[in-house]
Amino acid sequence: MPRHQKPTANGLVREYLSGRIGRRELIGKATALGLLAPVMMVLGGSRSTVFAQDEGTPIPDPDAGSTIVIPDGLRTDLSGAQIAIMGSSSSDPNTPFFQNAVAKFTEATGIEVNYILGENQTDARLQQMRQQFAAQASDIDVYQIDVIWPGVVAEHAVPVQDAMGDAIDGFFPGLVDTNTVDGNLIGIPWFTDAGLLYYRTDLLDKYGLEPPTTWSELESSAQAIMEGENAENPDFTGFVWQGRAYEGLTCNGLEWQVSQGGGTIIDTDGNVTVNNEQAIAAMSRAASWVNGISPEGVTTYTEPETFNVWVAGNAAFSRNWPYQYAGSQESEFIAGNVGISPLPKGDGPEDVSAATLGGWSMFVSRYSENQEAAIELAKYLASPEMQKALAVERSMLPTIESVYDDPDVEAANEFIPRLKPVFEAAVGRPSAQTGDIYPEISTVYYQQLNQVVSGSKSAEDAASSMENEMTAILEGD
Amino acid sequence: MATAFDPARLPPPTQFKRRRVKPWDIVAKVLFWLLVAFVLVYTIFPFAWAFLAAIKPNADISATPTRYLPSEIYWGNLEYVFNQRDFILALRNSIIISLVTVGVALVVGSMAAYALGRLKFRGRSVILYIILAMTMFPAIAILGSLFEMIRRFNLYNTMQGLVFTYMTFTLPFTVWVLANFFKAMPGELEEAALVDGSTPFQAFYKILLPLALPGLVTTGLLAFIAAWNEFLFALTFTNTYEARTVQPAIASFRGSTQFDEPWGSIMAASVVVTVPLVVLVLVFQRKILAGLTAGAVKG
Amino acid sequence: MSQHVPAPAPVVPVDEPAIRVSDAPQASWAKSRERLAWLMVLPSVLIVALVAFYPLVQSFRLSFTNARLASSRAVENIGLNNYRFLWESDTFRTAFGNTVRFTIISVSIELLLGVIVALIINSQFPARGLVRAAILIPWAIPTVVSSRLWAYMLNDNYGVINDLLVYQLPKTVSWIPFIGDNLAGIFPDEKIAFLARPNLALPSAIAVDVWKTTPFMALLILAGLQIIPGDVYEAAVVDGANKWKQFWQITLPLLKPAILVALIFRTLDAFRVFDVIYVMFGYKVETLTLSIFTQQTLVDGDRLGRASASSVIIFLCIGVFVLIYTRLIRVEET
């Protein structure tokens, strides 16, 4: 064997030209080299250009964000600071708006902002953040966080209650509570979401019915409409919702429970309260819908499946999020016949409608080296002015009460002001009191509840399993 | 000899010898053919159904009663799939990851297999037993600690990380199958080389390795299929299409528009990732049959 | 790992290597050859140690701690608390029961079908090659794809299985004289929500698994069938044994080793089932298996310690089968 040396393509060719190796050997060695090259590249650990991803750049839209009014009182003394925000994803239609909004911020304050495109899927985003935090990285100063994450990410936050001051009073209290961990405000509510009842105005008229305000009314109306429609359309069903074993079922279940006096699974003091008569009754009631006013398959539905049945004109009622309003109004089957209202409540005199709270907040990392500039950007993006522009241009739902009453918002999206009472009564999932074990609590809840609505477990047994497992999780923590 | 399945060496026909035709024979024959027909339909129909769904218009797919044949050939779903940037990235990732996995497994594994199959050294049988046990290793048993390791090495959400973890299941069986293969080769091969003055290593890569090409192809194919079809690690150790492969992509594939039932595009995507495999398997049928049962019985 | 990985031989080449290079004239090479052998084995050994043994030891170690993946909390030793948690958890117990049920039912059906298919392919008839090629198709299809494909076929509304059961098959069998109408009566009148009905969820998953892995079973058994010498049968024919007798008295006993290998291999595989169920049902409890429980505990719950405990339990269960398996090999050796 020739003296061992690291083979390179150039070396091989040189050896061949100098006659030290023959043609066959050259071909053989070159092939081996070709096979090994990717191997070395991969095992080398460095991300070579071959693996680099060509990020699709969103098309700049100069008109996006044209209605943004710069809020008064932005600090200009931080000019020259450089910060970064992990923003929306490249495929998010809101991205041009945010990029322009950030550019306006730089113009007004002199703070330079690097807008980093984030992941599209929610869980991927959380993973991305966790990795940054695990490394205590200062690369990114401002993040967007989901409403159920505060407990998970609180230890990496800069508390912002002092920076917000009185301004926080204008926000929905429920949202402020969800973003408060151990007395610290760790996220500024930015936009929101809550469960809604969608109904078919044309069908209610046809059968002489009013939009239901209680679950009993919903049941009887759904039954009546379904019986009538099934004569012509056997696929028609009364009420669709999200019954699959996933986070969405926790949202649905919480609404059933709270609206019928069953509590919030875990109370604000961290006690497991789910095993109570009202909650059990609420779960049993939902189970009774399946194969009646709801299709058997509803226990496998997530939002898109629910939406598919609804927009095809195959359901009288649907529980879904506000962002599907626009899509419903574009459907060839139901456009113009879409009504929305708060979700129904129980029959008891003290029962009130409940909507599970969703939405996102602005979050400042404690590993940021420019925390003041970062807080300024977070405040700017969640300011009333910005929220109004978001509501007008992007039909995103404000977290500040007064924005709902703004005439410009109503003119642009008439349904937004009508949603205000829903958000006022919105209920947070028990994420604040459970902190970073919320995902486990929710898993127990939706897995047990899914068994109830599927008919394989009684509500009593499920509630007691929930209590046992949740207690074990909380105690073992 | 450890080769197992050789279609050319079939036992003499035992089932249907010519005798006097009795009524029961006819019934048996009919039943037998019915059974054959059932097996054929059972194995082929589901894939054919996916293929049909991929080229059916969406209205046909959600029609009740079921429309078995497409009313027209519709390319929309396949077009949609190929316009999905994420899906294309996943395809690219799968191709790179599977090829590199096969490359590493073959290079590293064939050396070990040669030593284990043809050289005598202390510790050989221990290693063989370990390798054997490893071929049955449950990946789930190390999911958590592997996750931790991957993050510590900064390999989370990288193709390198997946190639690395795919070694848990490709390397042991590559070594195992190839060791049997090397062992089955005639013993004089290296002796000739040694007489020529070659070193044992030269004997390995100049003589044995080229002769083992059929075995390498078989093992490589099986390793490729195993890596291509892997789901648990890909799902757990990646979260974006920088490294995510086609299996998790298919698992979470959503429909083309909100208004369609998404099965058309899901099936189109499924067919895209499956057709190459099916073609590969059918072309290399004999090799795969031999490799799958390699050494499974005393030959 | 999955059923795409071939079953290793029950006959390990633990006996002497094929050649004894030590007998070659260059006896002084013995040392350098041994060094070469180790050098060649070393990369594989290192990789296997790094990607399997080290993590396995870690799994055991972590299973006694409260470790998490993404948290700055201090990692503490909590003894057997994780195991106690699993022992007391309804969900874990359900997952354990589901896994056992899935394994027993699917492997039994696969064995039965596998033997039938292997016997078919082993007999001489014109379309043999076609059948042999056809059974490779389910094997080649990725599990994720088969799972989605069957979910589509089992759809309660427009799934083809429902169409066949409710409309096509009754129509077809009613043509059979005399018993046709009665046969047609056994089919359901209404479409079935296979995936939503809790008592049909696990059976649906089993059906997909059977479809997907019967070919593998059949191939292993076929390999066993092909080494049965033909003259055994000839002798039996001379003795006047009919087909049925031949099967029970000759084929089955001689097939036993191959069946055992196939059984154990499939049992190992079925016990760690993940893909097929996860894709169809996600985290649904009625179909939750140990692997899905473990993955969920790790990724969703961020409980590295508890997930490791669950991993260790799976490992120990599977270890029993591996022991049986290696035992079998030793038996073969002697």
The number of residues making up chain A comes to: 477
A185: which strand partners? A180
pLDDT tens column, A368-379: 999 999 999 999
Within 8 A of C127 by CB-CB distance, chain B residues are 36, 40
Task: List, as one string, the DSSP characters of A205-217.
Answer: HHTT-PPPSBHHH
- Tokens representing residue B292 in the block: 């799958």
CA dihedral B150, B155, B156, B158 (to 10 degrees): -140
Report the pLDDT value the prediction gives residue C28, as an integer from 0 to 100. 55
Within 8 A of C198 by CB-CB distance, chain A residues are 451, 454-456
Within 8 A of C317 by CB-CB distance, chain B residues are none
Residue C111 pLDDT exceeds 90: yes
Beta strands in A38-139 (DSSP E): 82-87, 112-117
If you average pLDDT over residues C263-267, what whole number do you get? 86
Contact B281 C223 (CB under 8 A): no
Report the pLDDT value the prediction gives residue A25, as an integer from 0 to 100. 56
Report the pLDDT value the prediction gives residue C105, as an integer from 0 to 100. 96
- Tokens representing residue A353 in the block: 């409608």
Q: How many CB pairs under 8 A join A and B?
A: 62
Q: Say if strands A196-200 and A338-341 run parallel, antiparallel, or are unpaired.
A: antiparallel
User: For testing the chain B interface, which of A53, A120, A246, A302 should be mutated: the one with the most B CBs within 10 Å?
Assistant: A53
Report the pLDDT value the prediction gives residue A460, as an integer from 0 to 100. 97
- Out of C43, C55, C291, the one facing B146 most closely (by C-beta) is C55
- Tokens representing residue C11 in the block: 């006959």
A33 touches chain B (CB under 8 A): no
Report the pLDDT value the prediction gives residue A47, as an integer from 0 to 100. 31
Instruction: Provide the mean pLDDT of chain B.
Output: 82
Question: Do B172 and C48 meet the contact criterion of CB atoms below 8 Å apart?
Answer: yes
- Distance (Å, rounded) from C-alpha B114 to C-alpha B204? 7
Helix, strand or coil for residue B119?
coil
pLDDT tens column, A386-413: 999 998 888 788 999 999 999 999 888 8
Question: Do B284 and B277 meet the contact criterion of CB atoms below 8 Å apart?
Answer: no
- Tokens representing residue C135 in the block: 């059974």
Count of CB atoms situated within 10 Å of the CB of C53: 15
- Out of B107, B156, B259, the one facing A331 most closely (by C-beta) is B259
- Out of C69, C281, C300, the one facing A439 most closely (by C-beta) is C300
C39 touches chain A (CB under 8 A): no
Name subunits touching B (3+ CB pairs < 8 A). Answer: A, C
Report the pLDDT value the prediction gives residue B293, as an integer from 0 to 100. 65
Could you give the strand order of the β-sheet that contains A237-240, starting from the edge strand earlier in sequence? A237-240, A315-320, A196-200, A338-341
pLDDT tens column, C8-35: 444 444 445 544 444 444 555 567 778 8
Contact A131 B96 (CB under 8 A): no
Contact C88 A447 (CB under 8 A): no
If you average pLDDT over residues C264-277, what whole number do you get? 91
Contact B259 A311 (CB under 8 A): yes
Residue B108 pLDDT exceeds 90: yes
A84-98, A394-408, B93-107, range with greatest mean pLDDT: B93-107
A231 touches chain B (CB under 8 A): no
pLDDT tens column, C216-257: 899 889 888 888 887 888 888 888 878 788 888 888 888 888
- Distance (Å, rounded) from C-alpha A403 to C-alpha A410? 10
A167-181, A454-468, C155-169, range with greatest mean pLDDT: A454-468
- Distance (Å, rounded) from C-alpha A308 to C-alpha A297? 13
Contact C296 A443 (CB under 8 A): yes
Contact A119 B240 (CB under 8 A): yes
Contact A51 B151 (CB under 8 A): no
Contact B232 C233 (CB under 8 A): no
- Out of A436, A448, A456, the one facing C198 most closely (by C-beta) is A456
Within 8 A of A472 by CB-CB distance, chain C residues are 85, 88-89
Contact C199 A456 (CB under 8 A): yes
Closest-CA distance of chain A to residue C91, Å: 8
Closest-CA distance of chain A to residue C140, Å: 26
- Out of B136, B222, B296, the one facing C4 most closely (by C-beta) is B222
User: For testing the chain C interface, which of A451, A458, A468, A475 should be mutated: the one with the most C CBs within 10 Å?
Assistant: A451
- Distance (Å, rounded) from C-alpha C239 to C-alpha C231? 12
C88 touches chain A (CB under 8 A): yes
If you average pLDDT over residues A214-228, what whole number do you get? 96
Q: Which of A61-65, B41-45, B179-183 has the lowest mean pLDDT?
A: A61-65
Helix, strand or coil for residue C7?
coil
Residue A106 pLDDT exceeds 70: yes
Closest-CA distance of chain A to residue C307, Å: 12
User: For testing the chain C interface, which of A294, A309, A436, A464 should be mutated: the one with the most C CBs within 10 Å?
Assistant: A436
Instruction: Provide the mean pLDDT of chain C.
Output: 84
Contact A447 C285 (CB under 8 A): yes
- Distance (Å, rounded) from C-alpha B242 to C-alpha A281? 47
- Out of B104, B107, B258, the one facing A307 most closely (by C-beta) is B258
Q: How many CB pairs under 8 A join B and C?
A: 421
If you average pLDDT over residues A177-200, what whole number do you get? 91
How far out from the chain centre does Cα C92 lie?
Answer: 21
Closest-CA distance of chain B to residue C199, Å: 23
- Out of A42, A124, A332, the one facing B240 most closely (by C-beta) is A124
Helix, strand or coil for residue A427?
strand
Report the pLDDT value the prediction gives residue A54, as an integer from 0 to 100. 31
- Distance (Å, rounded) from C-alpha B93 to C-alpha B81? 16
Q: Say if strands A184-185 and A196-200 run parallel, antiparallel, or are unpaired.
A: unpaired
Within 8 A of C81 by CB-CB distance, chain A residues are 476
Confidence class for position B202, pLDDT limits 50, 70, 90: confident
Confidence class for position C180, pLDDT limits 50, 70, 90: confident
Contact A443 C193 (CB under 8 A): no
Share of chain A above pLDDT 70, in %: 85
Contacts of C302 (CB under 8 A, 6+ apart): A436, A439, C68, C69, C70, C71
Q: Kindly state the DSSP code that residue A393 receives in the 8-state scheme.
A: H
A168: nearest Cα among A182, A144, A185, A146:
A185
If you average pLDDT over residues B48-61, what whole number do you get? 88
Confidence class for position B254, pLDDT limits 50, 70, 90: low
Q: Which of B16-20, C10-14, C270-274 has the lowest mean pLDDT?
A: C10-14
Contact A53 B241 (CB under 8 A): yes
pLDDT tens column, A17-31: 455 555 555 445 544
Within 8 A of C156 by CB-CB distance, chain A residues are 295-297
- Out of A35, A53, A327, the one facing B103 most closely (by C-beta) is A35
pLDDT tens column, A295-353: 998 998 888 788 888 988 999 999 998 877 877 877 888 988 999 999 999 999 999 99
Question: Do A249 and A446 meet the contact criterion of CB atoms below 8 Å apart?
Answer: yes
Report the pLDDT value the prediction gives residue A120, as an integer from 0 to 100. 63
Between B2 and C16, the higher pLDDT residue: C16
Report the pLDDT value the prediction gives residue A1, as an integer from 0 to 100. 34
Q: Which of A353-362, C69-78, C154-163, C244-253 has the lowest mean pLDDT?
A: C69-78
Closest-CA distance of chain B to residue A127, Å: 8
Report the pLDDT value the prediction gives residue C17, as an integer from 0 to 100. 52
Contact A42 B258 (CB under 8 A): no
Closest-CA distance of chain B to residue A246, Å: 14
Closest-CA distance of chain C to residue A152, Å: 9
Report the pLDDT value the prediction gives residue C47, as an integer from 0 to 100. 93
What single letter denotes the amino acid at residue A137?
A
Report the pLDDT value the prediction gives residue B204, as an integer from 0 to 100. 84
